[in-house]
A and B are shown apart, each in its own frame.
Chain A
Amino acid sequence: MSTLVIADHNKGELAGSTLSVIAAAKAIGGDIDVLVAGKDIGGVAEQAAKADGVNKVLAADNDAYGHDLAENLSLLIAEIGKGYSHLMASAGSVGKDTMPRVAAMLDVAQVSDIMGVQSEDTFVRPIYAGNAIATVQSSDSVKVITVRTTSFDPVAAEGGSASVESVDSAHDAGLSEFVSEELAESDRPDLAAADVVISGGRGMQNGDNFKMLESVADVLGAAIGASRAAVDAGFVPNDMQVGQTGKIVAPNLYIAVGISGAIQHLAGMGDSKFIVAINKDEDAPIFQVADYGLVADLFDAVPQLEEELKKVV
């Protein structure tokens, strides 16, 4: 038994999500190798080699993998993945895009978004927006898996000393081309990995008012999220959406401001350790999951919150 973990990385850094996927691979057992694919990823491969529990890092440095195009990456993973019993990636946008192609190529099912490992072939995953939890068993010879990273505590980033081998394989399927990208620039912690998240919903009324949340986030070192309604209305960009069909977060503290608490939103933040809700409607469903609920107008409460936090943090 052995697992190939597909690393996430951006701007030359290994993403923390990879450490959680390695943790999930450890729960399965067997040797763990990590594949780092991309352009100029030597540094990422070195970082992956230091992660706890890694046996070997395979580095595929090639233009063809420079923009994470699934058509190309999936060919690489299927080739390098030969001989492994498990192929695992995070359930981030690259893993979701690429792994089903790999599964189809190998003629096996994919187990999406696992939140638990029961044995080498049995996994726990949420269905129906997390309103039900399924335990599924795979009968395929190779298990293709994406991992809900918030459900697995990351392995240590340092301490390992795996070897790095370069992989000399360039798959360009010739089907797709990168045109451009528009990435959000932010000095804040990564939403999916932050200890504290403060999110705004339709109640924020416009994008400008999110500045109030930014001020609170500055005090707490928090990441900022949003409901679908706030993204659809154009208050904030799409990468801030938390929920069933957005990002999954599980911080120590989640503060929902002007968010009603639809099941699709709860699906993305319901595993947070502490949940605070600020809403002027005392019957808003968000209060059913909030550890601390404050019935108040957010335009009064949020500036006050900033002041009070400054006194104690």
Chain B
Amino acid sequence: MKVLVAVKRVIDYNVKVRVKPDNTGVDLSNVKMAMNPFCEIAVEEAVRLKEKGVATEIVAVTIGPKVSQEQLRTALALGADRAIQVETDEDVQSLDAAKMLKAVVDKEEPNLVIMGKQSIDTDNNQTGQMLAQLAGMPQGTFASEVEVEGEKVKVTREIDGGLMTVSLNLPAVVTTDLRLNEPRYASLPNIMKAKKKPLETVSPADLGVDVAPRLKTLKVEEPQPRQPGIKVESVEELVDKLKNEAKVI
């Protein structure tokens, strides 16, 4: 079966972001960028399905500026067979991303789409669910276990109270949670090989999607700083302060 994996280029999760002084956004100049960690988990899951003989082809797709080809090359080095870039310099919001992915799904007809549950920049947690709706597919969000069983996929999901397992008709969308797997690193030979794998570029217009942001960011600010705290010397002092100063116990 064919698996489509959506990967997004985001700020590296180790970078401490800075809000721009003019409050129009965060400063992304000269910061390290990387594949969204949940998308790494998505790629890893697809590769494992291929290693198990369940998946036969893995197609990685991203929507973003030219440089996001770096993340597609990473996906190819990790084991994707080919890649599609929807190239745009616009700010792509989740609904637009989902519409473009829907167009790619219509063309590629994958049996399974694996995506991250959340981008660590916008923290939206929407795109997979939106794509599933637009494509008329069921969804297994926040997945910690994925098992393809014939015409269905069984997905164990991390929910507020614990775990829930659902069985979905294929084709389906799965969004990854942290416990699904531990992504591997790309080896040097595979990074070299990835340079020769096919990477196709299309535009949003080719897909018939008009990128029209519905949400306007009016301003971006630093969070309220916390008052600096103190170090206490002992447990007795701690409990005394909690009781008599903070009055929280």
| Interface set of A (CB-CB < 8 Å, partner B) | 10, 67, 69-71, 74, 92-94, 96-101, 103-105, 107-113, 122, 126-140, 173-184, 192, 196, 220, 228, 231-232, 237-239, 241, 244-245, 247, 252-253, 263-264, 270, 273-276, 282, 287, 289-296, 301, 304-305, 308-309, 311-313
Once A100-B94, A232-B178, A312-B249 are accepted as A-B contacts, the answer to whether A128 and B121 lie under 8 Å apart by CB is yes
Once A74-B133, A108-B95, A181-B165 are accepted as A-B contacts, the answer to whether A292 and B215 lie under 8 Å apart by CB is no
A312 touches B239 (CB 8 A): yes
Q: Which residues of A contact B132 (CB under 8 A)?
A: 71, 101
Report Cα–Cα, A117/B130, bound state, in Å.
Answer: 24
Q: Which residues of B contact A231 (CB under 8 A)?
A: 178-179
Q: Which residues of A contact B229 (CB under 8 A)?
A: 275, 287, 289-293
A296 to chain B, nearest CB (A): 8
A136 touches B235 (CB 8 A): no
B203 to chain A, nearest CB (A): 21
B130 touches A100 (CB 8 A): yes
CB of B227 within 8 Å of the partner chain: yes
Contact of A264 among B13, B166, B172, B232 (CB under 8 A): B13
Report Cα–Cα, A137/B13, bound state, in Å.
Answer: 27
Once A104-B129, A196-B248 are accepted as A-B contacts, the answer to whether A308 and B236 lie under 8 Å apart by CB is yes
Interface residue tally on B, bucketed by range: 35 or more
Q: Which residues of B contact A107 (CB under 8 A)?
A: 95
A127 touches B214 (CB 8 A): no
Contact of A173 among B95, B124, B138 (CB under 8 A): B138
A294 touches B232 (CB 8 A): yes
B13 to chain A, nearest CB (A): 7
CB of B243 within 8 Å of the partner chain: yes
A299 to chain B, nearest CB (A): 13
Q: Which residues of A contact B239 (CB under 8 A)?
A: 305, 308-309, 311-312
Q: Which residues of B contact A176 (CB under 8 A)?
A: 138-139, 166-169
| Interface set of B (CB-CB < 8 Å, partner A) | 11, 13, 16-17, 19, 26, 38, 93-95, 98, 117-118, 120-134, 136-139, 141-142, 144, 154, 157-169, 172, 177-179, 214-223, 226-227, 229-232, 234-236, 238-239, 241-243, 246, 248-249
A135 touches B218 (CB 8 A): yes
Q: Which residues of B contact A245 (CB under 8 A)?
A: 38, 117-118, 120, 177-178
Q: Which residues of B contact A296 (CB under 8 A)?
A: 235
B223 to chain A, nearest CB (A): 5
Q: Which residues of A contact B121 (CB under 8 A)?
A: 127-128
A132 touches B162 (CB 8 A): no
A301 touches B235 (CB 8 A): yes
A103 touches B95 (CB 8 A): yes
A134 touches B219 (CB 8 A): yes
Report Cα–Cα, A228/B125, bound state, in Å.
Answer: 18
Interface of A is mostly: mixed
Contact of B223 among A133, A232, A253, A304 (CB under 8 A): A133
Q: Which residues of B contact A109 (CB under 8 A)?
A: 93-95, 214-215
Report Cα–Cα, A282/B233, bound state, in Å.
Answer: 12
Report Cα–Cα, A130/B222, bound state, in Å.
Answer: 9
A305 to chain B, nearest CB (A): 5
Once A100-B126, A245-B117 are accepted as A-B contacts, the answer to whether A291 and B17 lie under 8 Å apart by CB is no
Identify the closest chain B residue to A313 (Cβ): B249
**Residue from A74, A97, A181, A239 whose CB has the most chain B CB atoms within 10 Å:** A97
Once A71-B138, A96-B141, A173-B138 are accepted as A-B contacts, the answer to whether A252 and B120 lie under 8 Å apart by CB is no
A43 to chain B, nearest CB (A): 18
A92 touches B94 (CB 8 A): no
Q: Which residues of B contact A295 (CB under 8 A)?
A: 231
Identify the closest chain B residue to A291 (Cβ): B229
B230 touches A291 (CB 8 A): yes
Identify the closest chain A residue to B233 (Cβ): A294
Q: Which residues of B contact A94 (CB under 8 A)?
A: 159-160
Q: Which residues of A contact B120 (CB under 8 A)?
A: 128-129, 244-245
Contact of B162 among A101, A238, A309 (CB under 8 A): A238
Q: Which residues of A contact B179 (CB under 8 A)?
A: 231-232, 238
B16 touches A131 (CB 8 A): yes
Report Cα–Cα, A75/B163, bound state, in Å.
Answer: 24
Contact of B238 among A101, A239, A276 (CB under 8 A): A276
Once A132-B220, A238-B158, A304-B235 are accepted as A-B contacts, the answer to whether A274 and B94 lie under 8 Å apart by CB is no
A133 touches B221 (CB 8 A): yes
Once A70-B139, A126-B123 are accepted as A-B contacts, the answer to whether A291 and B246 lie under 8 Å apart by CB is yes
A292 touches B130 (CB 8 A): no
Report Cα–Cα, A117/B217, bound state, in Å.
Answer: 14
Report Cα–Cα, A59/B123, bound state, in Å.
Answer: 31
